[in-house]
Amino acid sequence: MRTLLLLLIGSLGLLNAQDSHKDDTAIELQASTPCDEAMKTMLQIKESGVIDFIRWNLVLTPNNSFELNIKYGESKPNTMGFVIEYHQEIKGTFSTQKSSVPKGDIYQLSTGNSGLRLSLLKLNENLFHLLGPDQQLMVGNGGWSYSLNRKNPTRQKAAFPTLATATLTKATPYVAVFDGRTPCTELANEYAIPVSDECIKLKWRFTLYRDSVTLKPTTYTAIRIFRRAQPITGTWSIEQKGETVIYHLNPDDKKDEALQFLVGDDNVLFFLDKQQRMMVGDENFSFALNRKMK
């Protein structure tokens, strides 16, 4: 009995030690993002020619150092690869600071020798979003977003982060179009979307409308593409939780599931699951939508 008691005490001590060090592990992030001119400048990419997207692997260590491996080039049609692949390995240090707009912790990555500077907003333990030179959320395109996803997601402590209040303000019945590609299986399982076993991505386009006088949300149209376009129509509403804004999309056809989005700002939306938790993507696609610019 005494031996068993000692073993139990030892096991509890080991568990407590593991709990006390669980925040000391490195954070490994992965993603595929666009490569616009601002990103080329921030990453000091010198190669000429077409560069459609970047594949990221970023490790943030407990001693405030980082290792970044990126691969980039022109997208090879019908694959996840490149026509010609370039790569960089970058090491440096990072610091964190509180920000009011956008609200949250900003990770500033820098290297002493090259002058490289990158900023990421921590959305939660599993998601970070790249910031542009203006320190606002970078806006992706219909192919890729600027969100980085934790490779081995942890259990989320909060349903969603507190971001600055964001509402669409232009006084016009036509509001905005949001595009994006997301992983397939997770969304299909969460929202009972009929797809086949080989589905690896879903393409989306949402158009939101408001009343031209009251500016209140009215209707939306959505196109979901897996092999063929599936049009969806419905109504949408805005939920305000303190400084957090959530869009609710309710389809006319009750066979389609209602969707929820966390508003990052006027230009970036993040998919939420049914429990209003942010969904975590993979190395190819993120669960974010980007406003289509005119």
pLDDT digits (tens, 9 = 90+) for 184-212: 999 999 988 888 888 999 999 999 998 87
Q: What is the pLDDT of residue 169?
A: 54
Distance CA 116, CA 174 (A): 40
Out of 43-57, 70-84, 158-172, pick the least confident.
Answer: 158-172
Binned at pLDDT 50, 70 and 90, residue 20 comes out as very low
Average pLDDT for 254-258: 79
Q: What is the pLDDT of residue 211?
A: 86
List the beta bridge partners of residue 266: none
Highest mean pLDDT among 106-115, 148-157, 279-288: 279-288
Average pLDDT for 88-102: 90
Of the chain, the percentage scoring pLDDT greater than 70 comes to 85
7: helix, coil or strand?
helix
265 pLDDT higher than 60: yes
* Residues 6+ positions from 145 with CB-CB distance below 8 Å: 31, 33, 34, 180, 268, 285, 286, 288, 289, 290
141 pLDDT higher than 70: yes
Q: What is the pLDDT of residue 24?
A: 64
User: What is the reported pTM?
Assistant: 0.87
16: helix, coil or strand?
helix
Q: What is the pLDDT of residue 15?
A: 40
16 pLDDT higher than 60: no
Distance CA 111, CA 68 (A): 11
Domain ranges of the chain: 25-150, 174-291
Same CATH topology for 25-150 and 174-291?
Answer: yes
Q: What is the pLDDT of residue 197?
A: 84
240 pLDDT higher than 80: yes
User: Please, are residues 181 and 144 in contact by the beta-carbon 8 Å criterion?
Assistant: yes
**Does the domain spanning 25-150 belong to CATH 2.40.128.640?**
yes
Q: What architecture is domain 174-291?
A: Beta Barrel (2.40)
